[in-house]
Amino acid sequence: MATSKRRDAPAGSGTGPPVDVPDSRAARAAALDALARRDYASEDLRRKLLDKGYDPTVVADVIERLCSERLVDDRRYVESFISYRAARGQGPQRVRSDLGKIGLKGEIVEQGLAAYGDWIADLRRARQKKFGAQLPTHYADRQRQARFLGYRGFTGAQIRLALGFDTDLEVDNN
């Protein structure tokens, strides 16, 4: 007979059956348990608690109290998220999209992206890691690298600047 070393999870944790507990203390305990592992955006934590089966009004109250206590801070989460993703070589468009999937949109995201340091340095680091230090000399190589960087979420202007494309798009026909 094989025995499992896995402990039985307490009621309401994981993906088990919905919890029929409108108790705000239990919801707060579940939220604090999740926050002990990692930081969450308020919308992400709300979704997690609702998935566990807590009442939506109780969840809204718990999230509001955690925000007032600064245990949940969307601005701090956005800054951390941007810093982590940029260090992995992802650009501002990709980071914006990923934050939108979590439920963070609007001014808080735009302020975080604008406040982040040098996207061009991150772009160059990502390009150099994939393709080496030498800048591409052939048009086909530039296009391949531009597609790669575009997929990573960098803007066209950032890519043109980093790859040495002609950045003067204004053509004088005189």
| Check whether domain 119-163 has CATH 2.60.40, yes or no | no
Task: For the chain, give the mean pLDDT.
Answer: 83
Tokens found for residue 13: 């944790």
What pLDDT score does 10 carry?
47
Fold of 74-115: Arc Repressor Mutant, subunit A (1.10.10)
Q: What are the CA-CA distances from residue 145 to residues 97, 119, 133, 136, 169 (Å)? A: 21, 16, 12, 8, 20
Predicted TM-score (pTM) of this structure? 0.74
Sequence spans of domains, the chain: 24-68, 74-115, 119-163
% the chain with pLDDT above 90: 50
Q: How far apart are CA 109 and CA 71, in angstroms?
A: 19
Determine the residue type at 133.
Answer: A
Pick 84 or 13 by higher pLDDT. Answer: 84
- Percentages (nearest 5) of helix, strand, coil residues in the chain: 60, 0, 40
Q: How far apart are CA 23 and CA 21, in angstroms?
A: 5
Tokens found for residue 114: 């604008």
Could you write out the DSSP letters of every residue in 84-117? HHHHTT--HHHHHHHHHHHT--SHHHHHHHHHS-
Q: What is the pLDDT of residues 9-29, one digit of tens each?
A: 444 444 444 554 458 889 999
154: left (phi over 0), alpha (psi -120 to 50) or beta: beta
Contact, 110 vs 52, CB < 8 A?
Answer: no
| Check whether domain 24-68 has CATH 1.10.10, yes or no | yes
Q: How far apart are CA 51 and CA 18, in angstroms?
A: 8
Range with the lowest mean pLDDT among 6-20, 37-51, 134-148?
6-20
* Helices 42-51, 24-37: crossing angle, 10 deg rounding: 120
Q: Are domains 24-68 and 119-163 of this chain identical in fold?
A: yes
